[in-house]
Amino acid sequence: MAAAPEDMNEVPAVLIRPMVEIDLPEVAQVEEASYAFPWSENIFRDCLRVGYTCRALDLAGQVIGYGVMSPATTYGHVVATCEIVTGMMSMAVITGLLFARFSKPTARMLFSRVAVITPYDGVPTLMLRVANQRRSYILEAMASMVLARDVETADGHSLRRFYDLKLERARSPMFALSWLIMHRIDADSPLSGITEEALRAGDMGLAITLSGTDETFAARERVSSGGAAGLYVAAMTLNGGTAVYGGSGGI
């Protein structure tokens, strides 16, 4: 005998909702009643813990059914394993790249716009100044200076030559504020015997390189006037009897 329409309206609706841990005892009872080799309650708890899609069929507050969507084949397990491993490795690589990018110290040094050749202890000396913009020390700072000039060979070819200039003090144990770099123009200096006319006519340049260890990051820093500092001397002139060179930027 068919039920009256008014009786059908009183039938409770079945609700499909996410499974929660308090549903597990009832889910285990449904599992034991349905299968000869049922899953234990702990297996369902592990499914919730690892994030499988778990649903419960709720009828008037009572669990009458359930559903668990999880990898059930070898292919599914392989795909899930590759996804987990790839996700972990990607996160590790991204974290390492970001840490390496922002933890790497950047040298902040200023080179003077001009250098002078003036007597020092009775010897003509090329001088220029470098300043440390950071508040931290640069430990075991090392400086080097190279003279670049065009020379003509016996065959009449013009070549660019580089000459190391010996510094009065090439090492500073703690470079904090400024450093006066000096090169004595003695008989062994590549600048020995160069006249004002030669300085004006010759295409000469100076390249200065400094390196040291930042005390904050304990990392090696290196900066060059011909590269990072944006300063490379293209010519040398004389001004009032004192040779000077000009560059771009600095102090």
CATH of the domain at 15: 3.40.630.30
pTM value is 0.49
pLDDT in tens, 39-73: 889 999 988 888 888 999 998 888 889 988 877 77
Same domain, 62 and 118: no
Among left, alpha and beta (phi > 0; psi -120 to 50; other), residue 220 is beta
- Between CA 155 and CA 47 the distance in angstroms is 85
- Between CA 6 and CA 10 the distance in angstroms is 7
Banded pLDDT at 11 (limits 50, 70, 90)? low
Same domain, 39 and 154: no
For the ranges 23-32, 117-126, 165-174, the maximum mean pLDDT occurs at 23-32
The reply to whether 151 falls in a domain is: yes
The reply to whether 62 falls in a domain is: yes
Q: Which amino acid is at 123?
A: V
Same domain, 52 and 166: no
- pLDDT at position 203 over 80: no
End position of a domain, from candidates 19, 54, 69: 69
Nearest Cα to 133, choosing from 57, 41, 228? 228
When divided into structural domains, the chain yields a total of 2
Please give the pLDDT value at position 19.
Answer: 92
The reply to whether 76 falls in a domain is: no
Range of the domain at 201: 109-246
Q: Which two tokens stand for residue 64?
A: 């009458």
Same domain, 139 and 209: yes
Same domain, 54 and 118: no
pLDDT in tens, 86-136: 988 999 999 888 877 776 666 677 787 777 788 888 888 888 888 887 777
End position of a domain, from candidates 38, 69, 100: 69
The reply to whether 222 falls in a domain is: yes
The reply to whether 81 falls in a domain is: no
Query: What CATH number is associated with residue 182?
Result: 2.60.40.1400
Three-state SS for the chain is CCCCHHHHCCCCCEEEEECCHHHHHHHHHHHHHHCCCCCCHHHHHHHHHHCCEEEEEEECCEEEEEEEECCCCHHHHHHHHHHHHHHHHHHHHHHHHHHHHHHCCCCCEEECCEEEEEEECCEEEEEEEEEECCCCCEEEEEEEEEEEEEEECCCCCEEEEEEEECCCCCEEEEECCEEEEEEECCCCCCCCCCCHHHHHHCCEEEEEEEEEEECCCCEEEEEECCCCCCCCCCCEEEECCEEEEECCCCC
